[in-house]
Amino acid sequence: MYVFLCEDSIDGIFTGIYDAWASGYGHANVALSARPLENYALFDEYIPVATSAEKSAKVARTLQARLGAEIYQELCQAASASERHAGKRDAMDKADALYKTVVLALSLKNGRNVLHYLGEPCVSRVFQLSRSAWNETHHLMGFLRFRELKSGLLFAQIRPRHHVLPLLGAHFSDRLPQENFLICDAGRRQALLHPAGQGFFLTDAKDLDLEAADRLSQQEEAYQSLWRGFVQDIVIKERLNTKLQDQNLPQRFRPDMTEFCSYDASTHQKFPDPQ
């Protein structure tokens, strides 16, 4: 067996699919892995894959042309998912499931129906990963909170389980096309940057000054105060249902949501309100 070792990202996995397909070893003799290698199989050959934006783009164009936008979106969501938070740890490797699903889809008369083949382990795994990543993306489309900094930049911070920045980029670029905004994934130390009137791109956020991100414009401070006051005033204490609240708005999203934090303008510090 030839095992191609790729980076755990959309570009990394798509590059792995490109290299595995082009290898000529035969699909039955090839596996793709994006997991950290813990144990080597005695008779397997391991081939490292260098992530290539060009190869990834070629795979993306082929998938969109042959399988359509909907299936392509599902595959991207699956590639963005964290295996740790999407099913059992010993489930089929994400990258290998995607590779085998692509192989199956391109062998079908109508590859756009590939996700109907849930009896296939690879398809079932891709479907599970895609749903998990999309559910979190859908939550963050509503729960993400931008704040306007003194520089005029709109800034938001999130801590998602899955690598959802690429999925959020298209949504917020469409909603805020003429705004300069930045969304920081604090856990992965990556950022999505959108210059006004242009597309978005991902960048390393290891050197991002998060203290500067707490220096709000005066108008933002006023609006945050009004918003928190509104949220507090509409509470009906006699009908408080914390279990239902936690179902509709999980606790893990709240530390970065304006209405659940207080802000000290004199020290530029933000801290959770006692609930």
- Secondary structure E strands in 166-272: 181-185, 190-194, 201-204, 261-264, 269-272
Q: Are residues 225 and 208 in the same domain?
A: yes
User: How many beta carbons lie within 10 A of that of residue 239, not counting itself?
Assistant: 6
Is there a single domain that holds both residue 26 and residue 119?
yes
DSSP state letter for 255: G
Q: Is residue 21 domain-shared with residue 54, that is, in the same domain?
A: yes
- Write the secondary structure of 5-35 as one string of H (helix), E (strand) and C (coil): ECCCCHHHHHHHHHHHHHCCCCHHHEEEECC
| Residue 241 lies in domain | 144-272
Question: For position 89, what pLDDT does the model report?
Answer: 61
Residues 99 and 172 both lie in one domain: no
Q: pTM to 2 decimals? A: 0.84
Based on the domain organization, do 253 and 154 belong to the same domain? yes
Mark 189-210 as b/e (b = at least 16 C-beta within 10 Å). Answer: ebbbbbeeeeebebeebeebee
| In a shared domain, residues 6 and 133 | yes
Residues 64 and 166 both lie in one domain = no
Asked if the model's pLDDT at residue 203 lies above 80, the reply is: yes
Question: What tokens appear for 64 in the block?
Answer: 């969109």
How many domains does the chain fold into?
2
- Same domain as 158, residue 102: no
Nearest alpha carbon to residue 12 among 35, 40, 30, 45: 35
82, two tokens? 């964290």
Distances (CA, A) of 87 to 91, 116, 226: 7, 20, 41
- Are residues 38 and 156 part of one domain? no
pLDDT of residue 66: 95
pLDDT digits (tens, 9 = 90+) for 57-66: 999 999 999 9
Cα R_g (the chain), whole angstroms:
22
Residue 88 scores a pLDDT above 80: no
Residue 19 sits in the same domain as residue 130: yes
Cβ pair 123, 67 in contact under 8 A: no
Q: What is the pLDDT of residues 10-47, one digit of tens each?
A: 999 999 999 999 998 999 999 999 988 777 777 889 99
205 near 185, Cβ under 8 Å? yes
Q: How far apart are CA 143 and CA 214, in angstroms?
A: 19
Same domain, 216 and 248: yes
Section 182-206 average pLDDT: 92
Of 138, 155, 178, the residue at which a domain comes to its end is 138
pLDDT at residue 91 in the model: 73
Residue 241 and residue 128 share a domain: no
Measured between alpha carbons, how far is 80 from 7 in angstroms, rounded to an integer? 12
Question: H/E element holding 46?
Answer: strand 45-48
Residue 274 has pLDDT above 70, yes or no: no
Q: Which of 114, 138, 162 is the last residue of a domain?
A: 138
Instruction: Report the range of poorest mean pLDDT among 27-41, 129-143, 159-173.
Output: 27-41
DSSP secondary structure letters along 123-163: HHHHHHHHHHHHHHHHHHHHH---EEBTTS-EEEEE--SS-
Q: Domain boundary residue among 138, 154, 185?
A: 138
